[in-house]
A and B are shown apart, each in its own frame.
Chain A
Amino acid sequence: QKEVEQNSGPLSVPEGAIASLNCTYSDRGSQSFFWYRQYSGKSPELIMFIYSNGDKEDGRFTAQLNKASQYVSLLIRDSQPSDSATYLCAVSQGLEYGNKLVFGAGTILRVKS
């Protein structure tokens, strides 16, 4: 079982729709959760982080965390063609692991105009 799992996609949505990206993790001790966006040939760019159960909203983005289900998701409202990228879910497992992030393989999102 991989530590962090994501559907590789591609996930295709029409412009203006809501894109829903999902991620599951195996370590129940995980404490911090991050979503990064990565355009082809570029480095990961931080979109959001979430530490507590529930929802966290930032503009068009909403991160959702359910620690009981070991599940974290990212919703993108009013999707734009510029949102087309690979979205990486990353998990920080706990204080004893320092700042080590464990990444999923990423979900490719394509927004069609």
Chain B
Amino acid sequence: DAGVTQSPTHLIKTRGQHVTLRCSPISGHKSVSWYQQVLGQGPQFIFQYYEKEERGRGNFPDRFSARQFPNYSSELNVNALLLGDSALYLCASSLRRTTDTQYFGPGTRLTVL
């Protein structure tokens, strides 16, 4: 079975621009979570979506938004990019909504210039 997939792999944007990152979960998984990982730190939780509804939100500004589609794939949107948004953005999928094992995709490396 295919694992979690993410696109694009790499992305370069300039300050003030907008970006959309995409994620497809493992087949049968209904929960998608997004994490931001800055160099030298552990991943930080941004959002969780389960059955197309937001189920959790981390301490990120409103410039960050996400949604989940009927096929359980998900998009993460970031508006008005700042230099500090440069990071590895990780998508993780799981079968259940709570305290479940999460499997990560390969990530999208975002560079903001």
Contact = CB atoms under 8 A, between A and B. Distances in A.
Interface size class of A (residues with CB under 8 A): 20 to 34
A99 B97 contact: yes
Nearest to A6: B42
A52 B52 CA distance: 31
Given A32-B99, A34-B101, A46-B101, A102 B45 contact: yes
A49 B94 CA distance: 14
B63 to A, nearest CB: 20
B56 A43 contact: no
B111 interface: no
Interface in B58-108: 58, 88, 90, 92, 94, 96-107
A97 to B, nearest CB: 7
A60 interface: no
Contacts of B100: 32, 99
A21 to B, nearest CB: 13
A100 B104 contact: no
A46, A94, A100: most-surrounded residue (chain B CB, <10 A): A100
Given A44-B90, A95-B98, A101 B103 contact: no
Contact of B31 (A43, A46, A99, A106): A99
Interface of A: 4, 31-32, 34, 36, 42-46, 49, 88, 90, 92, 94-95, 97-106
